[in-house]
Amino acid sequence: MGITEAPSRAELVGRASDLVPLLQKAAPAIEENRRLTDEAVEALTASGLLKMRVPRHHGGYESPMRTVVDVLAELARGDGSASWTAAVWAISTWMVGMFPDTVQDEVFAVPDVRVSGILSPTAVGTPVEGGVVLNGRWAFNTGSQQSAWNTNAAVRALPGGGFEPIMVLIPLSDLVVVDDWHTAGLRGSGSVSTVAQDVFVPDARILPMGPVLAGVHQLGRNADSPVYKAPFMPTACATVSAPALGLAKAARDAFFDRLPGRKISYTAYENQAEAPITHLQTAEAATKIDEAEFHAFRAAGMLDDKAAAGEPWTLEERARVRLDLGATCQRAKEAVDILADASGGSSVYSTVPIQRIERDIQTLSLHAIIHPSTNLELYGRVLCGLEPNTHYV
């Protein structure tokens, strides 16, 4: 496949904006079905937005992280689950670019292929000739029912005892899907569990996790691409900050859509827009959205700029991206909470979008990699000269 001329950031954000009304309309069905509707997947595919992290020589765009964050945040204005699923597909598709060229050729031979993935190493690979036999279970496998491949973390048993963390690439057809995604928020993300039962994974589709996390990639045709010079965890963290930012913007949209003509019940205010408390609430929420945007794009900008310059990453810089992720989510959630609180009792109806937005941001904030307090602690440890208490940095 020839090299693709990548669309500009403005063009891709515009395409995402065009999808917002469709996603808003589809959001109740997405939530009820507990995964994206076929219409939503088809629209995302047709827009080309799922190609942002596909290698250029396979028809993709290799979009910079600033563009990826901007696009995913815009999608979240339409639906949080759609944005989150697209974010997971973006990370996992990018990860395929770390595997040998022959493996990439196999995966990307199918146009518009979708790849999902899990970072928790909850499966064990037993070494056999030519690869490993994998057994285990992965929860929270977003978008897997609508994907062809999985990039999943596991551990490989070592001959002398102990285990080595690895990343494996598995066809979804080799896994058993457990339809257990019954949740309060992000219900439409289809984050079901998947199970490997004696699944053989050849050596070519296995990567040692250590070099992946360290950003020491054994790349073929992607070796000179700035997108693939970025380390894994900062890349993943910057990507998943975008749905949080977008959900805060969605809450702002939803609040102001309902504001005209609304009164504050049991008060003298016949027009909520004239109440001083509304002015304070909206201004505070807007400020927090600005702060969330600052953190999301600081992380994205660092990824783009350091990759373009070929600069190494310090431990503090890696930890700061985790901080930016947590801060983005924290400020976004605070903004959503303010606007939801200002939306009145009628906002609890399922037909009112802000109640879904609030549940989605709450669910997102509990993700182990995103959780604000966890990321604050990690960054504080590094600032104080201590070793990080996680390998995921």
Rg (CA), the chain: 21
Q: Where are the alpha helices (DSSP H) in 97-169?
A: 101-107
When pLDDT is cut at 50, 70 and 90, the band that residue 1 belongs to is low
Could you tell me if 331 and 270 lie in one domain?
Answer: yes
pLDDT bin (cut points 50, 70, 90) of residue 2 is low
271 within a domain of the structure (yes/no):
yes
pLDDT in tens, 95-109: 999 999 999 999 999
pLDDT in tens, 193-228: 999 999 999 999 999 988 888 777 667 888 888 898
Flag whether 221 is in a domain.
no
- Per-chain mean pLDDT for the chain: 95
One domain, residues 182 and 39: no
174 and 318 housed in the same domain: no
Percent of the chain with pLDDT over 70: 98
Tell whether 271 and 378 lie within a shared domain.
Answer: yes
Q: Is residue 108 domain-shared with residue 153, that is, in the same domain?
A: no
**Rounded to whole angstroms, how far apart are CA atoms 271 and 278?**
10
Find the mean pLDDT for residues 167-185: 97
Tell whether 300 is covered by a domain.
yes
Give the count of domains, the chain: 3
Residue 112, number of CB atoms within 10 A of its CB: 16
pLDDT in the model for residue 247:
98
Domain final residue, candidates 67, 96, 113: 113
Q: Do 108 and 125 fall into the same domain?
A: no
Q: CA 271, CA 261: separation in Å to the nearest integer?
A: 6
**Do 72 and 121 fall within a single domain?**
no
- Whether residue 52 contacts residue 239, with contact meaning beta carbons closer than 8 Å, is answered with no
pLDDT of 334 reads 98
358 and 379 together in one domain: yes
Q: Is residue 172 part of a domain?
A: yes
Domain boundary among 79, 113, 147: 113
194: domain CATH number is: 2.40.110.10
In a domain, 223, yes or no: no
Q: Are residues 76 and 192 in the same domain?
A: no
Q: What CA–CA distances, in Å, run from 171 to 167, 194, 219?
A: 13, 12, 21
Residue after which a domain boundary falls, among 208, 238, 272: 208
Return the DSSP state at 7: P
- Here the CATH number for the domain that contains residue 282 is 1.20.140.10
pLDDT tens by residue, 229-288: 899 999 999 999 999 999 999 999 999 999 999 999 999 999 999 999 999 999 999 999
Question: For residue 3, is it within any domain?
Answer: no
Q: What residue numbers bound the domain in which 169 lies?
A: 115-208
- Tell me what pLDDT residue 181 has: 97
**What CATH number does residue 61 fall under?**
1.10.540.10
Bridge-partner residues for 164, per DSSP?
Answer: 156
> Do 367 and 267 lie in a common domain?
yes
Residue 68 belongs to a domain: yes
Q: 258 with 363, same domain? A: yes
Residues 132 and 146 in one domain: yes
Domain assignment present for residue 392? The answer is no
